[in-house]
Amino acid sequence: MFDFFFDIQKKYNVNIYVFCLIFFLSIIPFWLSFFKLISSLRKGDIKKIIFWTVTLGFVYFAPYLYIYLFGENFPFWFHFVFWGLIIVLIYTLIKKIANKLNAIKTDQGKNNWKDFFFWDLYSYPYNKLITFSTPHRELFNEVYQILNFEKDEYILDAGCGGGHLEDFFIRKGIGDAKIEAIDFSKKMLKDARTRCHGFPRINFNQLDLNKKLPYIDKSFDVIICISVLFAISSQEIFEEFYRILKSEGKLILVEPKPDFNGKKLWDPQKMGLKKLKYKAIKIYPLIPLIIFLNKIIDFKQRRDYYQQFSLNGLKEILDRIGFEIKITKLVLADQDWLILAIKKSII
């Protein structure tokens, strides 16, 4: 047994301790993959058979991969095994990703799987940063003041993201009101459900705002839509909001100005992070990611894939559909417009 290891050291000029470590560490995964492969063969599950064969091959050759990468004088067939394994590994990975994307495609309609993926990714930095954003807290408070929680209102939050608004409402108290919070990003909804866990009067639902919404006419007393409309490809959403809102119902929209300056919003957010001191270490690495993702949003807006609304543009659309504008004011460090519109009742 020892001769085997010393031979390897002599033959391939590798560190025998590292080789032994990899060799012994791979024994348990080897037998585990072996038994998993046998059970997959019995069940006839092709996908699992391929997966466990690849894993078994990989684990079996792991000590030899060390020789391949760090040793000398290895036989020619090592090249085949090494590159064979790499190719099979890459192929399996690509297949896995393609299957995932196909599942999203069939789940979500043809065109929006990229958006779906984008907002899932966006949730990582956004949901962390927003937790410390003073401008967002001020905005949520502004929205809270507009609502009337004395009455048991039925509220729709269209594009609820990570549920920060709902969390704010829960802390302030929402009386007997009920909230329907919708978003199409699974990751955003997962975060939102965790944030508002155990609060039964909030229902989270995965829905696409580019499609007809599954609510009957005049369902809601209030619709809130914060920083979402720019990402919706069609203006039919305004008509949909009109349809599902009760007469005299409130529509609260918050949309970035066309000359939105991210830096101006970032400055007060930075103050919030500074207060966290060393705890902010985990959050700083997310900042380049959100800057990069915001650049993609800019790019999509320039390509007219995402929309941009001027205040007058928004007012015009709302007026045409049958809303009366009650309040317009700047929020989020003066980078977004808040609009409160009321659905005019038809006599």
Ligand X SMILES: C[S@@+](CC[C@H](N)C(=O)[O-])C[C@H]1O[C@@H](n2cnc3c(N)ncnc32)[C@H](O)[C@@H]1O
The smaller minimum CB distance to ligand X, of residues 55 and 210, is found at 210
Could you tell me which stretch among 4-12, 228-236, 310-318, 326-334 binds ligand X (CB under 6 A)? 228-236
Q: What is the DSSP letter of 279?
A: G
Asked if residue 249 lies in contact with residue 344, where contact means CB atoms within 8 angstroms, the answer is no
Cα–Cα distance between 325 and 280 in angstroms, integer?
Answer: 40
Could you tell me which stretch among 22-30, 66-74, 146-154, 160-168 binds ligand X (CB under 6 A)? 160-168
Helix axis angle for 236-244 and 311-321, nearest 10°, is 50
Which residue has the closest beta carbon to ligand X?
A: 161
108 binds ligand X (CB under 6 A): no
Q: What six digits make up the tokens of 227?
A: 């920083």
Residue from the set 61, 184, 215, 323 that interacts with ligand X by CB under 6 A: 184
The smaller minimum CB distance to ligand X, of residues 63 and 161, is found at 161
Rg value, the chain, Cα: 28
314 binds ligand X (CB under 6 A): no
Q: Which residue has the tokens 């002599």?
A: 10
Could you tell me which stretch among 2-10, 45-53, 83-91, 184-192 binds ligand X (CB under 6 A)? 184-192
Helix axis angle for 164-172 and 186-195, nearest 10°, is 20
Residue from the set 164, 250, 300, 343 that interacts with ligand X by CB under 6 A: 164
DSSP string, 87-128: HHHHHHHHHHHHHHHHHHHHHH-SSTHHHHHHHHHHHHHHHH
Cα–Cα distance between 189 and 195 in angstroms, integer?
Answer: 10
Could you tell me which stretch among 1-9, 86-94, 181-189, 264-272 binds ligand X (CB under 6 A)? 181-189
Could you tell me which stretch among 194-202, 208-216, 278-286, 339-347 binds ligand X (CB under 6 A)? 208-216
Q: What is the DSSP letter of 151?
A: S
Cα–Cα distance between 103 and 117 in angstroms, integer?
Answer: 12
Nearest Cα residue to 255 out of 311, 318, 211, 207: 311
Number of residues counted as binding ligand X (CB under 6 A): 19
Question: Minimal distance in Å, beta carbon 280 to ligand X?
Answer: 20
The smaller minimum CB distance to ligand X, of residues 67 and 139, is found at 139
Residue from the set 213, 232, 251, 331 that interacts with ligand X by CB under 6 A: 232
Altogether, the residues listed in the chain come to a count of 347
Which residues bind to ligand X, rule: CB under 6 A?
115, 119, 130, 159-161, 164, 183-185, 188, 208-210, 226-228, 231-232
